[in-house]
């Protein structure tokens, strides 16, 4: 069994996998789990053992059905009233042309939204709506989402670029592709792994973390190849 298939089996069991994007890109490893299996314990692991920003991805089809914007578009639209937003919404990242960030949300049944319990509830319910959105009539998903979530919140959403892994190959797209290939709700919950020196955890250290915990470590290029074969 190859590493990608092992990762898919892990995701189906609700286990974590590690995903490194690429040399010359962010050069970061994200700790990832299928959103539908997120629990308070999962959130605690992400914040204590990864340490970056805990986000939930959304596939392009789900994004369209929910009507989720890219945050840069929201800022530019509001720039007529608040010019500072035009100034800060320029996408001049050194590693990519377009940010995946959308809005940040809390489930309406949460309190502050930031506790492990609150974030787990927000993410798990998001995954349920994402799965249902693909098998129900158009219009249902946006209505259900608006009824259950509010923004701003403590779970940043990331929109996967379409066609998936055609141009943008960030952690958002790579992990979303894994959940789709695994037959799960098309949403992953991801968090960058940080080192104690304040920088991203080096790839070799991330590999060692995976070995010590019997977790699968994947390179982005391996996911891209698997996705191409699976899509055909």
Q: If pLDDT is split at 50, 70 and 90, which confidence band does 1 have?
A: low
Give the whole-angstrom CA distance, residue 64 versus residue 66. Answer: 5
CATH of the domain at 140: 3.90.870.10
User: Which residue stretches of 153-202 are H helix?
Assistant: 171-181
Domain range enclosing 192: 3-231
Q: If pLDDT is split at 50, 70 and 90, which confidence band does 93 have?
A: confident
Q: If pLDDT is split at 50, 70 and 90, which confidence band does 92 have?
A: confident
Q: If pLDDT is split at 50, 70 and 90, which confidence band does 96 have?
A: confident
Q: How many CB atoms lie within 10 A of CB 216?
A: 21
Catalytic residue annotation: 30, 55, 95, 106, 154, 192
Asked, as a colleague might, if the bond just before 163 is cis with ω within 30 of 0, I would say yes
Beta-strand ranges (E) seen in 133-214 are 149-159, 188-192
Rounded to two decimals, what is the model's pTM? Answer: 0.96
pLDDT in tens, 118-174: 999 999 999 999 999 998 888 899 999 999 999 999 999 999 999 999 999 999 999
Number of domains into which the chain is organized: 1
């Amino acid at each position: 069994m190859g590493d990608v298939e092992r990762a898919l089996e892990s995701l189906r069991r609700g286990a974590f996998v590690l995903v490194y994007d690429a040399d010359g890109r962010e050069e970061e490893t994200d700790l990832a789990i299928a959103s539908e299996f997120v629990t308070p314990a999962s959130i605690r692991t992400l914040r204590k053992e990864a340490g970056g920003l805990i986000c939930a991805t959304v596939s392009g089809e789900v994004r369209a059905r929910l009507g989720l914007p890219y945050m840069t578009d929201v800022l530019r639209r509001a720039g007529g009233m608040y010019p500072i937003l035009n100034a800060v919404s320029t996408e001049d990242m050194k590693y990519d042309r377009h940010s995946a960030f959308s809005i940040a949300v809390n489930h309406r049944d949460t309190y502050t939204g930031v506790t492990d319990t609150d974030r787990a509830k927000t993410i798990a319910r998001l995954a349920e709506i994402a799965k249902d959105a693909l098998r129900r009539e158009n219009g249902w998903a946006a209505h259900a989402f608006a009824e259950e979530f509010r923004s701003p919140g403590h779970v940043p959403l990331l929109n996967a670029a379409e066609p998936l892994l055609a141009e943008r190959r960030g952690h958002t797209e790579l992990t979303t592709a894994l959940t789709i290939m695994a037959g799960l709700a098309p949403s992953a919950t991801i968090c960058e792994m940080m080192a104690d020196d304040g920088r991203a955890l080096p790839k070799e250290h991330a590999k060692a973390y995976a070995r010590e915990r019997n977790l699968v470590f994947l390179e982005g290029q391996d996911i891209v190849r698997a996705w191409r074969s699976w899509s055909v």
